[in-house]
């Protein structure tokens, strides 16, 4: 089984996913590093991703879009914040406008990827981190669908509160 666990935390505003692969950390690293590999898995089925720019170095920028079933394009960007080949990657992932460039004043979500050798394969942790509720709300107001997961996290929080009450 590839995915070991996934966990959302409405208080910390995070989504964590842990997966294990039967491959060396260097190979797993390459699915993030190589844009041709990255675009094979980033977009959901029916929304293939195209990375038109992918500078895999600290401070490097990426530009990508996902093409929907009607041919509509959804633009996004990355900025590499930290990189420790092949163990750790930190990147900002934001929403871009129709020109493909970052929307000013819209803070990005954070992504942290950690790879470690485990049992002859690799264990990968991916954490998606939002800054605060206001950021989430702004993202939602902009119709950012990735923000959707966190909004639902809020609902999950409400449900837990309701159960605890």
Partner 1 sequence: MVVDPLSSDAFSEVEADRVFHALADSTRRDILTRAIQCEQSVSALARHYEISLTAVQKHVMVLERAALVTKNRRGREQLVVANPDTLRRANTLLEAFEQLWIDRANRIAEILTEEGEAR
List contacts with partner 1 (CB under 8 A).
Answer: 2-3, 6, 8, 15, 17, 19, 21-23, 27-28, 31, 37, 40-47, 66, 68, 74, 76, 93, 95, 124, 126, 128, 133, 137, 140-141, 143-146, 148-149, 151-156, 158-159, 161-162, 165
Spatial contact of 80 and 55, defined as CB atoms under 8 Å apart:
yes
Q: How far is the CB of 104 from partner 1 (least distance, A)?
A: 17
| Residue count (the chain) | 165
Q: How far is the CB of 164 from partner 1 (least distance, A)?
A: 10
For partner 1, give the closer residue by CB, 117 or 126: 126
Sequence-distant (6+) residues with CB within 8 A of 52 are: 63, 64, 65, 100
Q: How far is the CB of 60 from partner 1 (least distance, A)?
A: 19
For partner 1, give the closer residue by CB, 20 or 85: 20
Which residue is associated with the tokens 């493909």?
100
- Reduced to 3 states (helix: H, G, I; strand: E, B; else coil), residue 141 is helix
Task: Tell me the C-alpha distance between 43 and 18, whole Å.
Answer: 19
For partner 1, give the closer residue by CB, 69 or 104: 69
Which residue is associated with the tokens 């989504």?
15
Q: How far is the CB of 137 from partner 1 (least distance, A)?
A: 5
Tokens for 36, please give them. Answer: 């041709």
């Amino acid at each position: 089984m590839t995915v070991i666990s996934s966990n959302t935390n409405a208080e910390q505003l995070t989504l964590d996913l842990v997966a294990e692969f039967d491959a060396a950390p260097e190979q797993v690293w390459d699915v993030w590093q190589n844009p041709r590999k990255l675009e094979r898995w980033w977009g959901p089925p029916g929304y293939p991703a195209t990375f038109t720019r992918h500078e895999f170095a600290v401070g490097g920028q990426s530009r990508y879009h996902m093409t929907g079933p009607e041919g509509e394009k959804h633009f996004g960007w990355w900025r590499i914040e930290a990189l420790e080949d092949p163990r750790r990657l930190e990147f900002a992932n934001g929403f871009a406008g129709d020109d493909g460039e970052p929307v000013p004043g819209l803070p990005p979500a954070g992504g942290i990827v950690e790879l470690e050798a485990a049992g002859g394969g690799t264990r990968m942790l991916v954490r998606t981190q939002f800054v605060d509720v206001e950021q989430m709300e702004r993202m939602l107001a902009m119709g950012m669908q990735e923000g959707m997961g966190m909004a639902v996290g809020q609902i999950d929080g409400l449900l837990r509160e309701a159960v605890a009450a």
